[in-house]
Amino acid sequence: MNQCKPNTSQWISPSHSQPHITVWLLSAPLFPPFYLSATDDGDRPAWDSKIQYVLAQVGFSVGLGNVWRFPYLCHQNGGGAFMLLYVFLLVVVGVPLFFMELAAGQSIRQGSIGVWKHISPKLGGIGYSSCMVCFYVALYYNVIIAWSLFYMGNSFQYPLPWEKCPTNVTSNDTVKECAGSSPTSYFWFRKALNITNSIEESGEFNPIMTGCLLAAWAIVSLAMIKGIKSSAKVMYFSSIFPYVVLFIFLIRGLLLDGALEGITYMFYPKVSNILSLVWRQAATQVFFALGLGYGSVIAYSSYNPVHNNCHRDALMVSCINFMTSVLASLVVFVVLGFRAKNIALRCVAENLSVLNSLASSGSNQHWWPWFNMTDVSSVTLAEYREWYHLYSSMVGPKITDCSLEQEMNKGVEGTGLAFIAFTEVMAFFPASPFWSTLFFLMLLNLGLSTMFGTMQGILTPLMDNFSLLGRHRTLLTVSSCALGFIIGLLFTQRSGNYFVTMFDDYSATLPLVIVVIFETISVAWVYGTDRFLDDIEVMLRWRPPVVYKYLWKYVCLLAMVSLLAASLLRMVFKGPTYTAWNQSTVRCSTSTFYQIT
């Protein structure tokens, strides 16, 4: 524990002379220096090793968004061009803000409430806001973990329950809802969620999902019950295992037909998209990918030794986060490429069947294909499309185009990617239950590692600022998880998925941006960037580049204000909407939350 205690002999930067020190100490500054306030508390928990700390930060920042949101944004917003823009914003906005939170937590060795109260008691609301946002996020994030538990439990059977449509017991026909959509969509919307047609129809509780949610909160509670001493041990598995699975899926995916087309689609730069709203989406992704504003970054860094190189940590975690997003995108695009190729080839087979029917009826047309229509396996997608483009005006409406690009353009986001698109592809794999179990175990670990950080963003500030809570860590942890489960029952109704969408879109985005804006103002303008850099110099024993001063004061602040303004304008003009599943039409449609009565 002694390594976490500030070295009082180095509290004052060696660049100051002794007379200056005396005058400075007597001047009673309005805001005390960050470093001088570091809690000299030998009883404060600490990381057993640097590896534990890095895994915790990486585990928190690398979450489900890296697997399904980043690939979707890359897919929809210019491919390689979006990646270049993302890297630019990561360097000039993401890394400086991440470094700022790491340095603040490590120097003061307090949670988010204590850090901002140290600058001024009036700024304590920033920390409380972070705690509230963490709680909102934890409520719905654990529901996604519950869904992963449900799917993982259903993966231990062959064939997988979403491989084929079920039949009606009375008529022995395929269930209409499944026949009109797909086996994976039917299993997700009807078997897993048993979803209603709109958010207005709440429906009864889903007992299976309620049990899965209880199990998810129990796992979080057990892992957090001893603080970082218990959660850090779990991090060794929950943070590393997803990378093992991603690499396994990448190797398996590269062997699939269509993988090359998927990767080409991913990296092909569509520069024209850069002029649209891509800037806002890239900035939002940078913001959420690093977990800024939650207070979890501050909480984790507060358990570091005072002289830990937090600047190197900021660069390292940011790089790992980005490379994970790229790795996940590669996996997603090779899988989507394989899926698109299969759909396109099925389209070719269906069209050739129609052509064969026409040929068998005695019809003789000069536009008959030059390839063998009876041997579908010998016809390539390129051959069919070449023929179709030559004679599309003559063949009539029954014969359609079969475009791989068109299938790839159908963006799949969020839960649709994980629980519909991926499950559809895994049904084609040999030993499909193995791949399905592996995939959902990966999602489970990605979600849990982020949940640990989110809960730490709630518990650490409360225990630091309320000694009574600090003395009863176990009771606080269990009570918080129990409260989260009780409120989370909202999401286990049949309409619960719509509330997950609502919370995901509106409970965290704007509040977190506002929190980070006030954090930046507090450090850059209230406390002062020069003084902050002085404190960091004492911690690191070297002074960070002066460019951080201007990034914090102007660039980051302007970027956050612009992001807030763009988000508000989008909300005003577009309105809050969600995607609803209609059982009668067997289609998804966009609805507005304003219809709630």
Both structure tokens of 186: 């039917």
3-state secondary structure of 59: helix
Which of 414, 345, 344, 410 is closest to 188 using CA atoms?
414
CA dihedral sign of residues 328, 333, 335, 336: positive
Both structure tokens of 528: 């002062």
- Is 213 marked as a binding-site residue? no
Q: What's the CA gap between 145 and 441, in Å, rounded?
A: 10
Which of 267, 257, 423 is closest to 345 using CA atoms?
257
| Cβ-based burial of 82 (10 A; exposed 0-12, middle 13-18, buried ≥19) | buried
The neighbouring-strand residues paired with 587 are: 582
- Is 416 marked as a binding-site residue? no
Q: What's the CA gap between 452 and 216, in Å, rounded?
A: 12
Q: Rounded to the nearest 5°, which phi and psi values hold at 585?
A: -85, -10
Q: What's the CA gap between 325 and 67, in Å, rounded?
A: 7
Q: What's the CA gap between 542 and 561, in Å, rounded?
A: 31
Torsion angle (degrees, nearest 10) of CA 217, 223, 224, 226: 140
- Give the residue ranges of DSSP H helices in 269-374: 278-289, 296-301, 310-360
- Is 66 marked as a binding-site residue? yes
159 cis-preceded (ω within 30 degrees of 0)? yes
Q: What's the CA gap between 328 and 340, in Å, rounded?
A: 18
Q: What's the CA gap between 558 and 338, in Å, rounded?
A: 42
Both structure tokens of 296: 């979890």
3-state secondary structure of 577: strand
CB within 8 Å of 258: residues ≥ 6 apart? 334, 337, 338, 339, 340, 341, 342, 404
What are the Cα distances from residue 144, in Å, to 114, 212, 434, 501? 31, 10, 21, 11
Both structure tokens of 12: 């004052």
The neighbouring-strand residues paired with 167 are: 174
- Is 59 marked as a binding-site residue? yes
- Is 446 marked as a binding-site residue? yes
CB within 8 Å of 557: residues ≥ 6 apart? 517, 520, 521, 524
CB 553 within 8 A of CB 525: yes
Annotated binding site for Na(+): 59, 62, 66, 321, 446
Q: Can you say which residues are annotated as belonging to the binding site?
A: 59, 62, 66, 321, 446
